[in-house]
Amino acid sequence: MKYELVVFDWDGTLLDSAGAIVNAIKASCRDLDLPEPSDARARHVIGLGLVDAMRLAVPELPAERYQEMVERYRFHYLSGDHQLTLFDGVPDMLARLCSAGHVLAIATGKSRQGLERALDHSGLRQYFKASRCADECHSKPHPQMLDELMAEFGFVPEKLVMIGDTSHDLLMASNARVDSLAVTYGAHPHEHLLDHKPLACLHSVGELDSWLKTYA
């Protein structure tokens, strides 16, 4: 087994939520009479911690209004998050990886409360041995999430692969000196992901699962 620890991002990698996140950011701007970011700009911040994401998505926002923006974002996102669905094939892939003996973990820009809610809604909690969230660690692309996961299980960097849909995931992996895989069906465009030299860019969960069967 090449990669004993397989770490997944959540939004845009396992859960089809990028569109909902973009819509929540734009609705929050309308609530606060702020200019709406473009879809591309709103997608770019997916995966960051919430305050960092709001600061980059809406640079006109004064620092004293960050919390107000975060509260509006949570209102809009949580009003529809129960309707979001996993990408096709995710539960089967995770079950197969667990059966093969891999340790699975999550490194996400979500808050701990948000991830716990998502794990309950999705039914995926049983597959993951550990997780790290943006309100417990430095936001991506800082390597703290991956460093802590490796320390928790006693794995060296060569035994970990990080899987995500954004440049923030891939940069975090690079900063932690671990390999990465990019999925192109999430938030960031294919060519942007290629810039960060993942082992492969996979275009569906099926392709990702096949790659892991062959090389992990």
Which of 11, 147, 165, 169 is labelled catalytic? 11
- 174 to 60, 127, 147, 164, 190: CA distances (angstroms): 31, 25, 12, 12, 18
Distance from C-alpha of 30 to C-alpha of 35, rounded to nearest angstrom:
7
160-164 and 130-132 strand pairing: unpaired
Dig out the tokens for 63 from the structure: 């620092």
- Report yes or no: 187 and 176 within 8 Å, Cβ to Cβ: no
Catalytic status, residue 16: no
Which of 9, 165, 169, 209 is labelled catalytic? 9
Outline where DSSP puts E strands in 9-91. Answer: none
Which residues are tagged catalytic? 9, 11
